[in-house]
Amino acid sequence: MLLPAVEIRDLTKTYGMIRAIDGPTLNINQGEIFGLLGPNGSGKTTTMKIISGILKPDSGHIRVLGFDPVQEPILVKNRIGYVPETPTLYESLTVRDFFEFVSSVRKLDKGSTATKVEALTKAFLLTDYFDSPIASLSLGNRQKVSIIAAFLHDPQLLLFDEPLNGLDARSGKILKDLMSHHAEKGGTVVFSTHIMEIAEHVCKNIGIIYSGRLIAQGSINDLRRYSDNQETLEEVFLKLTNEKDTIEDTIKILKNALG
Amino acid sequence: MMSKEMKFTEAWKLSQIPYQELVFKSFIKSRGISYISKTHLSNGKSSNEKMIRRVIRSAVGNKIVVALIIAVASFISFIQSEYQYTTLSILIGSSLSLLMIFGYTLLYEIQFLPSMLDEQPTELLYSLPIYNSDISYILILAFIRAMDFIIIVDIAVPSLLVLILTHSLLASFIEMIGAITSVALATGLAIYLSKIFYQIANREKRSRTESIVRLMFTVVWGALVMSLALLYNYNTYLTPSLEKIITESSMSSILILSSIPSFSFSFLISSTLGGKSYVASYAAIGFSALYVGLSVLVILWSLRTIATFNNLHHDTNRKTPRDLKLVLRGQTVGYSIKDFRIASRNPTTAFLLAAPVLEAAIVLFPLITANVVGTITVLVGTVIGGIFTCFVVIGLLTAEGTGIEYTRTLPLSTNKVMHSKAFTATISYIPVPVIFALLGVIKPAIFNFISLIPLWELPAVAAAALVEMMIIVKSSGEERVLIFNLSSSILYFIASILVSCLVLGLPLVSFILTNLILGQKIASEIVLALVSSAEFIIMMHLTNVMNYSR
């Protein structure tokens, strides 16, 4: 039996007085696309950063592809492709400079990297920006640069934090197909999103994180059962996070206020 | 320029927003987003407010430091002369103080203005119902906010000094006009240079020639910044030379001197105090009037240009690249090249590219006149070269900016980053051993192989760079963010430089002691090389075994 791609038990992380992660326990299997859903500030990005070995948890157990990202962050980072929520890249580098930097640091093979860079750059329509400084790119194009860099080293695990931010429809479709292709090859994808339709169509399993706690996980059907058979994932989400009634009240107040 | 829609008080109040935005964005760039978000923003409202106040205080502190430097430079200019408080001493003091004002204002502005171009601090105001002309007006006021103390000190200090020393209101007034002119000309030049830097540094790479032009420009820019930073030293050299020119040279030399902006006003002051040369006085009146007129034009041009900063954007005239090939290197070299590229496109760190050239110039200058390559010359040159390299390390750490966030996602250990930065910094030292080796061939030396001392010191220079970074990494706390902010880590900076100096000095002290004990220069050189290599091996081992978790 294959090891889980990500194994988390009772993980905690606190920033000052705020508990960003409050003891979630979670297993993500190899070959699956796992969606991490939650409202803003619920702890999705912190969870992603802990999985990727960027942040150290305060307590709890974590294994990524069989490695402990706290003790062996380099081994983990070698095996994952991470797209951060905000693409904070080196602004003064050109796209070409940036790919050269990432490929050199990852010690990639020249031939296969060239093939991938060319294919991905053309697919995401970035060719004309190849010698442009990253500072001059739009949010969507920066996101594309970050996504391409995440695919260059054939990672076993793709960690995408809101990967569709700023992407046009064409690039969004390509990315979703690439994620599916990655999973079909046996790779794993963990991605966070606010867009319920995408999670519903792409993910095999979904985890709902709220105030740092994992309040539900499973397939869409499992989640429907937990939430009194709500129809859509959006309804499931609102039911599980107890936001359905609050939202209806808020909308009433807003309608009155806006006239 | 000035809008009819917005009152000055309202515009001045609003200009605090782009000014604060500029200061804040620069701070984020120099500390990394994770530092801000995790250390401060998550700790509640009071912590956020504290941090914003701290950032603004830090910016005000920087301005005060620059203003103090200018004030001290002005003061020193007046006390350098041997002729205490005579017309000649006032003439020289006034000239040099105006020159210092010009130089330091230019130095501050050419580091500050490109950030103003880059950050687009008024972008948010465009979404509000404010006329574009008013936004330009607000931007000009934000620029004035960024320069306020400096402009006040630029104008007040030399005028007051002249008033105190001469008791002449007229002389003080002329000095004030001279100071305003110097600030105006420096500002105009800074704006012009910043625009060029922005355009050249951010242009798409289209050809090898353009890359070479950009590199050359950055080296010249770096040399200019470093030269301006060394203005204090010129002060000491210039005073006796000026005294000699003014008292001994011909009328034509004096006329040429009085045609230089800083000097024309000083000759005018001198003539109001009873200076004897009528020709120089008339020339000074003419040239001063010319520069006042020119500065009025420059001020108008500067205001117009600052107002258009909002509309300067990165080059969007795209062209299909010749190919999509990448040049791949090893981790260390790949990281060093990234550092080199980033540093070359940032006006505040571009001087790093000029570092090897400047190292060569600093070491070569005292050697040109020396007949024999002596031990002291070699040792001093080696130490200066080594210390200069330590400053390059600071520059490399400062250059990282917010991009460090991405580097943290890569499989790159802190040790590796430290090694690559030490490697890059050590490259800037290489001209020192090369120059001494060449001099050893050209000039007679007090003993063979003495010119090779800087070469044996090379491992110690790399070790000093590693020591410096180890101390700085310690200062960056739990997350091991390899990024450095000089203003908030000044104690660590001083500590790191002191320890690095010890590392640099130990092999040289070993050389001196061995030579004293054994009287054998060759043996002493061998000891130097061994100590230097040992330091390097120890530092490599220490950086490798230290437990950096990420």
Summarised one tens digit per residue, pLDDT across range B133-160 is 888 888 888 888 888 888 999 999 999 9
Q: Are residues B363 and B442 in the same domain?
A: yes
Do the chains contact at B44 and A17, CB–CB below 8 Å?
yes
Q: Are residues A125 and A235 in the same domain?
A: no
Kindly state the tokens that stand for B288. Answer: 């001063």
Q: Is residue B6 situated within a structural domain?
A: no
Q: Are residues B264 and B365 in the same domain?
A: no
Do the chains contact at A84 and B403, CB–CB below 8 Å?
no
Q: Is the pLDDT of residue A179 over 50?
A: yes
CATH number of A29's domain: 3.40.50.300
State chain A's mean pLDDT as an integer: 89
CA B147 to centroid of chain Cα atoms:
17
CA A81 to centroid of chain Cα atoms:
10
| Contact by Cβ (8 Å): A48, A36 | yes
Q: Are residues A141 and A250 in the same domain?
A: no
B429: containing domain: 331-545
Query: Which stretch of B8-12, B322-326, B344-348, B422-426 has the lowest confidence by average pLDDT?
Result: B344-348
The shortest CB-CB distance from A89 to any of B321, B403, B411 is to B403
| Model pLDDT, residue B185 | 93
Q: Are residues A209 and A257 in the same domain?
A: no
Answer whether A139 touches B (CB < 8 Å).
no
Q: Are residues A72 and A129 in the same domain?
A: yes
Q: Is residue B7 situated within a structural domain?
A: no
CA B204 to centroid of chain Cα atoms:
26
> Is the ipTM value over 0.95, yes or no?
no
Pairing verdict, β A6-15 and A188-193: unpaired
Q: Is residue A212 situated within a structural domain?
A: yes
Kindly give the residue spans of alpha helices, DSSP state H, lying in B120-206.
Answer: 132-166, 169-201
Kindly state the tokens that stand for B412. Answer: 């790159």
Q: Is residue B3 situated within a structural domain?
A: no
> At residue B531, what is the residue type?
V
Choosing from B311, B346, B364, the residue where a domain stops is B311
Q: Are residues B365 and B306 in the same domain?
A: no
Answer whether A151 touches B (CB < 8 Å).
no
Q: Is residue B369 situated within a structural domain?
A: yes
The shortest CB-CB distance from B328 to any of A70, A113, A118 is to A113
% helix, strand, coil for chain B, step of 5 = 80, 0, 20
Q: Is residue A135 situated within a structural domain?
A: yes
Closest residue in chain B to residue A114, using alpha carbons only: B325
Round the CA-based radius of gyration of chain A to a whole number and report it. 19
Q: Is residue B325 situated within a structural domain?
A: no
B479, HSE (Cβ side, Cα atoms, 13 Å): 22
Q: Are residues B355 and B271 in the same domain?
A: no
Contacts of B33 in chain A (CB under 8 A): 86, 88
Q: Is residue B242 situated within a structural domain?
A: yes
Q: Which of residues 75-134 of A touch B (CB under 8 A)?
A: 75, 77-78, 82, 84, 86-94, 96-97, 99-108, 110, 113-114, 117-118, 121, 127-133
Q: Are residues A163 and A241 in the same domain?
A: no
- Give per-residue pLDDT as tens, A129-172: 998 888 888 899 999 999 999 999 999 999 999 998 889 999 99
Query: Which stretch of A123-127, B35-39, B256-260, B353-357 has the lowest confidence by average pLDDT?
Result: B35-39
Question: If pLDDT is split at 50, 70 and 90, which confidence band does B44 have?
Answer: very low
- Give per-residue pLDDT as tens, B153-188: 999 999 999 999 888 899 999 999 999 999 999 999
- Give per-residue pLDDT as tens, B414-426: 888 888 889 988 9
The shortest CB-CB distance from B330 to any of A18, A78, A104 is to A104
Which has more pLDDT, B481 or B439?
B439
Contacts of A86 in chain B (CB under 8 A): 33
Count: domains in chain A:
2
Q: Is residue B8 situated within a structural domain?
A: no
* Distance from C-alpha of B101 to C-alpha of B86, rounded to nearest angstrom: 22
Kindly state the tokens that stand for A227. Answer: 């939430």
SS3 state at A12? strand
Q: Is the pLDDT of residue B536 over 80?
A: yes
Q: Is residue A131 situated within a structural domain?
A: yes
Q: Are residues A247 and A227 in the same domain?
A: yes
CA distance A230 to chain B (A): 35
Q: Is the pLDDT of residue A251 over 50?
A: yes
Q: Are residues A128 and A96 in the same domain?
A: yes
DSSP 8-state secondary structure symbol assigned to residue A1: -
Q: Are residues A201 and A242 in the same domain?
A: no
A233: containing domain: 222-259
Q: Is residue B319 situated within a structural domain?
A: no
How many secondary structure helices (H) and strands (E) does chain B include? Answer: 21, 0
Q: Are residues B385 and B306 in the same domain?
A: no
CA distance B193 to chain A (A): 19
Contacts of A64 in chain B (CB under 8 A): none
Question: If pLDDT is split at 50, 70 and 90, which confidence band does A5 have?
Answer: very high
CA distance B20 to chain A (A): 21
Q: Are residues A63 and A169 in the same domain?
A: yes
Query: Which stretch of A58-72, A103-117, B388-402 has the lowest confidence by average pLDDT?
Result: B388-402
- pTM, entire model: 0.78
Do the chains contact at B205 and A94, CB–CB below 8 Å?
yes
CB-based contacts of B353: which residues, under 8 Å, 6+ apart? B215, B218, B219, B222, B340, B343, B344
Q: Are residues A130 and A241 in the same domain?
A: no
Which has more pLDDT, B527 or B24?
B527
* Distance from C-alpha of B420 to C-alpha of B316, rounded to nearest angstrom: 33
Pairing verdict, β A26-28 and A6-15: antiparallel
B332, HSE (Cβ side, Cα atoms, 13 Å): 11
Report the sign of the C-alpha dihedral through residues A154, A158, A163, A168, in that order: positive
Which has more pLDDT, B41 or B493?
B493
Dmax over Cα atoms in chain A, in whole Å?
62
B175, HSE (Cβ side, Cα atoms, 13 Å): 36
* Distance from C-alpha of B339 to C-alpha of B22, rounded to nearest angstrom: 24
| Model pLDDT, residue B40 | 43
Pairs across A and B, CB distance < 8 A: 152
| Contact by Cβ (8 Å): A158, A67 | no
Count other Cβ atoms within 10 Å, centred on residue B319.
Answer: 11
Instruction: Give mean pLDDT, residues B352-356.
Output: 69
Residue with tokens 């005294």: B243
Kindly state the tokens that stand for B273. Answer: 């105090």
Q: Are residues B418 and B502 in the same domain?
A: yes
Q: Are residues A164 and A232 in the same domain?
A: no
Nearest to B27 by CA among B49, B50, B55, B53: B55
* Distance from C-alpha of B494 to C-alpha of A233, rounded to nearest angstrom: 57
Count: domains in chain B:
2
Q: Which of residues 187-216 of A touch B (CB under 8 A)?
A: none
Do the chains contact at B313 and A136, CB–CB below 8 Å?
yes
Q: Are residues B530 and B445 in the same domain?
A: yes
Instruction: Give mean pLDDT, residues B298-308.
Output: 86
* Distance from C-alpha of A245 to C-alpha of B2, rounded to nearest angstrom: 53
The neighbouring-strand residues paired with A205 are A34
Q: Is residue A1 situated within a structural domain?
A: no
Residue with tokens 């390509």: A174
